[in-house]
Structure 1
Amino acid sequence: MHHRPLGKTGIEVSEIGFGAWAIGGDAWGPVEDTASIRAMERALELGVNFIDTADVYGNGHSETLVAKVLKGRRDQVVVATKGGLMGHHRDPEREPVYDCPEKIIQAFEDSLRRLETDYIDVYFDHIWWNDPRETEAFITAFAHLKREGLVRAVGVSTDDFDYVRQFNRDGTLDVVQLDYSLLNRQAEQHILPYCQAQGIGVVVRGPLSKGMLTGKFTAQTQFPEGDVRHNWPQEDWYGSQLDQVEQLRVLASRERSLGQLALRFVLNHLAVSVAIPGAKTPQQVEQNVAASTRPLLTEGDVQLIETVTSGRST
């Protein structure tokens, strides 16, 4: 497993991490806690040292499962969690839920309790719409948590460039978590170059595009109730993305699966610190982790990817 600096934080992270949204059990179809724990244990055995969770994943259940694998090895694992979505509403006519630093600090302390730790390595504002009151509350809370030694680094999980710049107005933003993949390259326009120039660490969520880039989905795939992908087959873009995946499949080989190619693609960007594909089983972890040692992208790979993802016919 290769490691990279998490921006200018001084923290070193495995370039493949563990995304713990799915193990929360309420958004990605059936999942068993015992399998989730085995998956995280296997990730750590294979050199993963970065686990990303959030208070809203399974209403805190993901954090409680992460706590189980931290026992006896807390100092060996970089733990990231997020606050800002738990109980949130998007009604612009109502007051924001996190309208003062005290509420954010309470949410942070709740995460500490569930994770059974006395500090968090990276704490994210988990919110992607822009409410100035919440922005100010989070910035103030972040400063307090850093002063108290309760966090090593702070960040924002967003795909909004203006939001990133607001949080970094005083140069105090440490990390950005964003959606980036072969099928969603929007971050290349502004956020990734900005983070690279500012020394801000980048955590990539969605590097497999919620499983689409594993190549296992078809037009006949049915997602269960409660899965965030349940309505995908009815969406206009679904068939188009399936076509793109099929065109990219030619780049897969014995040495590198399609999913591993997708992970190598996001890791190819110099701004990226760590990619956090989700996993619910040890077998999925093994596939993800192996991407760290799979062949790098060739010039021919990059050319075909540009052709396919730009919408031009092959």
Structure 2
Amino acid sequence: MPERRPDMLDRRTTLAGIATLPFTLKAALAQTAVDAGLRTVPIGSGAIQVPAVGIGTARRYDNPRGEEQFAPLRATIARFAELGGTVIDTAPSYGRAEEVVGQLVSDLGVRDKLFLATKVGVDTREAGLAQIEQSFRKLRTDRIDLIAVHNLRDVDNQLAILRDLKAAGRIRALGITTSFDGQYEPFEAVMRRQALDTIQVDYALDNRNAADRILPLAQEKGIAVMVNLPFGRDRLFTATRDKPLPDWATEIGAASWAQLFLKYVLSHPSRPIAIPGMAQARYVDDNLAAARGPLPDAALRKRMEHYIDGL
């Protein structure tokens, strides 16, 4: 575990060398994804390119006990990095997920292959500084690729902190998240008044509310979109259990329901990055395959919506 740092914003001189490191990693990570045949998505100005499918860690990484529960998570991240995946999303509110991710990434020695994203979700500047510093310690890293304000909590104060961190080279991107449709109005307001690299919202084939307002605005503003719960909290798997894939799934190379659901999300014009939960290595192969090959066009997207709405 790294030693506790002095005031994390008072390190611009010592971070001069670190600040140049991401530029090398940007090219390396993007090339790894390209070599793996994965569709990539730009973040920020576009200098950062990440694969369109990542890992979400809510619930599945929150409190593993013993090697029996750690082993499949370790195998998942190892396989993910091996196949060219980079984005792992976590948060302080996800139980021990930050700590678990930090330990697994450190054990595997794959930090430089990954794009680590977390969140800040507290009130006041002082609490934000403390929580962010704790995230650095738990993730065992001197650089976090993305920190987003969780569910708009104290959003302006926390974004000010994140801008300072970005200027200092400690983070590469900043953004906001919401899991609540009721927050869409203030969420849109922040998107319009603040310069953001990313947003994160819930979106799935059976949960399309974000597509009405949030995703088009992100596309207009050039803000990268991260999609949480692309399987609709497993509702989609429940609805399609024991059902064969429709014949038209072959048009987009979808060999499983998971790939079909993910390809729908990825095909939105805002070019989302989907972050489904993954806690078994076999799901990594299946899910990352959605970032390869064709995506549905507008007509097929409508057909997919009609199909799922009819179940």
Scaled to the shorter chain, the TM-score interval is 0.7 to 0.9
- Conserved in 2, the CA contact under 8 Å of 1:6 and 1:273? no
Aligned position for 2:227: 204
Q: Does the 8 A contact of 2:144 with 2:172 survive in 1?
A: yes
Question: Aligned pair in 2 of structure 1 residues 83, 99: CA closer, same or farther (>3 Å)?
Answer: closer
TM-score, normalised to structure 2's length? 0.76
Task: Check whether the contact 1:177–1:205 (CA below 8 A) recurs between aligned residues.
Answer: yes
Counterpart CA distance in 1 for 2:129 and 2:202 is: 26
Equivalent in 3, 24, 27 of residue 61 of structure 2? 24
Match of 1:114 among 127, 134, 138: 138
Residue 157 of structure 1 contacts residue 177 of structure 1 at CA under 8 Å; is this kept in 2?
A: yes
The corresponding residue for 1:256 is 255
CA contact (8 A) 1:52 1:79 kept: yes
Unaligned residue ranges in structure 2 (runs of 5+): 1-37
Letter aligned with residue 51 of structure 2? S
2:157 to 117, 125, 137: 137
Amino acid in structure 2 at the alignment position of 1:20: T
Identity %: 31
8 A Cα contact 1:204 1:275, kept in partner: yes
Task: Report whether the alignment pairs 1:188 with 2:187.
Answer: no
User: 2:98–2:138: 8 Å Cα contact kept in structure 1?
Assistant: no
CA distance in 2 between partners of 1:145 and 1:47 (Å): 27
Q: TM-score, normalised by structure 1?
A: 0.75
Deviation at 1:180? 0.6
Deviation at 1:274, TM superposition (A): 1.1
Counterpart in the other structure of 2:170: 150
Q: Is the 8 A contact 2:267 2:297 kept in 1?
A: no
C-alpha change, 1:171 and 1:286, in structure 2 (3 Å) is same
**Paired residue secondary structure (2:270):** coil
Cα displacement string for residues 40-83 of structure 1 (whole angstroms, at most 9, x for unaligned residues): 1101111101111111212x344333442256332321110112
The 2-side partners of 1:245 and 1:167 are apart by: 39
Q: Which amino acid aligns with 1:116?
A: R
| Cα distance in structure 1, aligned partners of 2:298 and 2:160 | 45
Where in structure 2 are the equivalents of 1:230-245 lying within 5 Å? 242=239
* Structure 2 contact 265–272 (Cα < 8 Å) conserved: no
The equivalent of 1:78 in structure 2 is 115
- Is 2:101 the counterpart of 1:65? yes
1:15 aligns with 2:15: no
Contact 2:62 / 2:100 at 8 angstroms: preserved in 1? Answer: no
The match for 1:239 is none
User: What is aligned with 2:33?
Assistant: none
2:210 matches 1:173? no
Across the two proteins, how many residue pairs are aligned to each other?
Answer: 264
Cα offset for 1:294? 4.6
Aligned partner of 2:151 in structure 1 is: 127
In structure 1, the partner of 2:270 is 271
Pairing 1:33–2:57 present: no
For CA contacts below 8 A with separation 6 or more, give which structure has more relative contact order.
1
Change (3 A) 1:303 1:290: same
- Assess if the C-alpha contact under 8 Å between 1:13 and 1:273 holds in 2: no
Whose helix fraction is larger, Structure 1's or Structure 2's? 2
